[in-house]
Each structure stands twice: as structure tokens, then as C-alpha cells.
Amino acid sequence: MIISKVGTFFNELLISWKESLGLLINKRFWLVTLKAVKETYSELFKRFWWLILLSTACDFLNGAHGRPIFNNLLYWSGFFLWLLLVYLIFLCVRSSIDKKNYAYYGSYSRSFVWFLLLLGSYWGYGFLVSYDWLSSIKVGSLFFVLGAFRDLAKIFSPFLAIYTFFYLDSPKRLLYFFKRFWSAFLLVFYTYPFCFVVWLLSILVSYCVLFVTNVLTHASIGFYASNVLAFFFVKLMFPLFVCLIYSLYTKQVHDHYDRYSA
């Protein structure tokens, strides 16, 4: 009986992994994702263009004298505005029957506190992961916090994105904060190949953008300003990643609601 259940579990898992990889070449999946990308960028640039520029301006001004200061008002202002922008991107991507306007986004202001708590918990875990490759892979690979990619992995994390969507779709109570951790864990576990490929591609493309921008601009505007400009481009890429993960999230929840609704 136990052997039969274990065999059934692994068979179901392998089928789910195969299906998740199949999404990468599924035309309908990509059409849905591209539609979400178009709508997200349209909403983002329509309502929050000023937030993108303001967070980047804080970073530029913080290093205006050639050396950035990492514990002053400009630094923390830019950091907070970037976190707010990330949260708003999730709300832009997420489907809603309500009209998306400033009142809609304002209605989720309390949830932003929970989002910061989630980020703090997740990033705190990231700091516990060693820079040693072997231990990083053993401890952190499921949550995509590998040592050498740790900074960008905090941004381009399928687990964090899926967890956020689960929580936004749940009652805002402490119990669901923990229950949705398990739901997100299961979804990442059953779609691990897809999540890993999307995560790895996001990291590699981001580092290519950082490298090319630094090579082309560091001589003319300085190394720090070049880095800020490079991360500005990476920020603009982030909605693409979130749309991909949201397409996976909606399909999985629709097809396997009982698995993730506990």
C-alpha cells in the first residue's frame, strides 16, 4: 500500500514537471502572458511612471558625489520606493473585477505591511544561505536564493512572486500568511522545472543587461551612476517576469484548485 502511494506520488510529480516544461513552448500560454505584459506596462506607465523615476532619482542623487552612502535618507527613500513599486507591479499584473485606479491600489495599502513582512522573512532567510556554492544549492535552491546570484535572486524569485499572489487572493489574516506559504511551496514544488528555467533566464538576462550597460556607460558617467542606470533597466524588466509567473499561477490554481486551497 505504501509503495503504491509513493509510486503514484512520483508519477504525478513527473507528469506535473513535464507539463510545466511544456508551458514554455505552449503558444496559448505565451499569448495570454503577452496580453498581460501589454496591459501591465500600459497601467504601470500610465499611473506610476513618476514612482519609477523618483526611486531611480534617489539612487542617482545618493551617489552624486561619486561615492554612495548606504545609511542616509536618500538611500532608504529609494529602497522604500522600489519596494512599493514592486508591490504595485504585483497589483497591476493581478486580475481583478474592480476597475484599476488609484482608489483600487489604495484599498490594498494595508496589505503592503504584510508584503513588507513577507519580504523581511524571505530576505532574512536569504542572508542565512552561505556563499559557498554547494551549501547554497542544498539549502536555497528550492527558494532560488543561490549565493552568487543572491542580490538579484531576491527580486527574481518565483517562490516570492507566487507567495505574494496567493496572499493577495486570501483573507488578510495572520493564519493565511502562514497557510499560503505552504500553498506557494507546493506550487513551486510541482512546477519546479518551469520555475527554475524562468528564474535562471531572468538572472542571466539581468546580468547581461548590467554588464553591457556598465561597459557602455561607466567611462562617461562613472561606475556608480552606470550601476544605477543598469538597475533601472532591470527594474523595467521585472514586470515581464511577474507576468510569466502569474500565468503559471492562474493555470495551476485553475487546474489543481484542491491541491493548493488547503
pLDDT at 158: 86
What integer best gives the mean pLDDT of the chain?
80
What does the domain layout of the chain look like in residue ranges? 2-34+110-260
Residue 22 above 60 pLDDT?
yes
Model pLDDT for residues 182-207, shown as the tens digit of each residue: 888 899 989 999 988 888 888 888 88
- Mean pLDDT calculated for residue range 14-23: 91
CB 225, CB 63: distance < 8 Å: yes
| Percent residues over pLDDT 70 in the chain | 82
| Percent residues over pLDDT 90 in the chain | 26
pLDDT at 96: 86
Place of cell 529609494: 78
- Mean pLDDT calculated for residue range 1-17: 80
- Mean pLDDT calculated for residue range 132-146: 45
How far the first Cα of the chain sits from its last, in Å, is: 25
Helix, strand, coil shares of the chain, percent, nearest 5, are 85, 0, 15
pLDDT at 140: 45
Select the more confidently predicted residue: 72 or 54: 54
The dihedral region occupied by 106, where left means phi > 0, alpha psi between -120 and 50, and beta the remainder, is alpha
pLDDT at 83: 85
pLDDT at 151: 52
pLDDT at 146: 40
Residue 33 above 90 pLDDT?
yes
DSSP string across 67-81: S--TTSHHHHHHHHH
**Confidence tier at 234 by pLDDT (50, 70, 90):** confident
pLDDT at 206: 81
Select the more confidently predicted residue: 6 or 49: 49
Rounded to whole angstroms, how far apart are CA atoms 209 and 70? 23
pLDDT at 69: 60
Most confident of 27-31, 129-133, 134-138: 27-31
Residue 236 above 70 pLDDT?
yes
